[in-house]
Amino acid sequence: MKKIIAAVNALSFSEQELDSYKYIADKARGKLTILFLENLAGESILQPLETGYIGYDALFAESAKARQEKADSNRKKLVRYFQDNCMEVTVRSLSGVPANEVLKETRFADLLLIKNTTSFSVWQDSNPPLFIREMLTDAQCPVMVLPEATHYLREIIFTYNGTFSSMFAIRQFTQLFDGLSGTPVKVVHIVEGDDKKVPNGRLLKEYLGHHYEEVTYLTREGRASGELMALTIHGENSVMTFGAYGRSKASRFFHRSDADCLLRTTNIPLFITHP
């Protein structure tokens, strides 16, 4: 059984978020572990200023004790919610720096789930939040970024440009979600340069034919983020894959700025992984 981990802010989460994590874990036929990120050492969250750094406790009057009490109360609510809904999960409380704690866990997991607005910043955070960007860049397992509420998956969108990273993401998703063979697949090839031919198209079709019953192929020209956004902007029942996020200066399916644009605007799960 696959090990699926989900990062939850102990001071801020919703029942819809928890439902989404359990739904995706079930689709992967995995066991869900909730990483309950308490971040009680608030002073470890720092923000740069012209005059130096300001810590969490310098900005908020709320004491560490109060945060601990709130985290304890929320943990009980979280456990009770899963119990009341007959959902079997493991809950692990982690009190260190959230990004460090989660990255360590990803080395020993098959998939990381995170909500697209998860943030531990004491200031107004970027969009997508810094925590999300750190996970996408440094996680040691595939990451799926979810909207607040995840709808039933009725379509898989594979982004592809012939690179190892784009095919690696397709393979990783296929191996993790091996129960979705009956779900329609759409392969989107964004043309790079003058050659409109799908790179290694015969081999790609052969591979996908082993795993999926219904596969269609689309070729698009233009900026990747815009073309992909047009495919997903009105949809809620799709999941999209792409490879590489901010790790290499080499040609990727689209640049990090394009990926950030999709993270900001789409309302579907995005599956991202690195070779």
CATH classification of the domain holding 110: 3.40.50.620
Mean pLDDT of the chain: 85
Residues 38 and 94 in one domain: yes
Tell me the two tokens of residue 238.
């799709």
Residues 13 and 116 in one domain: yes
Distance CA 139, CA 126 (A): 19
3-state secondary structure of 112: strand
User: pLDDT above 70 covers what percent of the chain?
Assistant: 83
218-245 per-position pLDDT tens digit = 988 767 777 787 887 777 899 999 887 6
Residues 170 and 195 in one domain: yes
**Given CA atoms 66, 80, 103, 242 in this order, what sign does their dihedral have?**
negative
Residues 169 and 132 in one domain: no
Question: Cis peptide leading into 128, omega within 30 of 0?
Answer: yes
Distance CA 204, CA 154 (A): 22
- CB-CB contact of 228 with 268 (8 Å): no
9-23 per-position pLDDT tens digit = 998 899 999 999 999
Q: How many domains does the chain have?
A: 2
Residues 173 and 212 in one domain: yes
Q: How confident is the model at residue 257 (pLDDT cuts 50, 70, 90)?
A: low
- CB-CB contact of 21 with 113 (8 Å): yes
Residues 128 and 166 in one domain: no
- Domain range for residue 8? 2-146
Q: What is the pLDDT of residue 152?
A: 93
Q: Which residue is it, tokens 């901010």?
A: 246
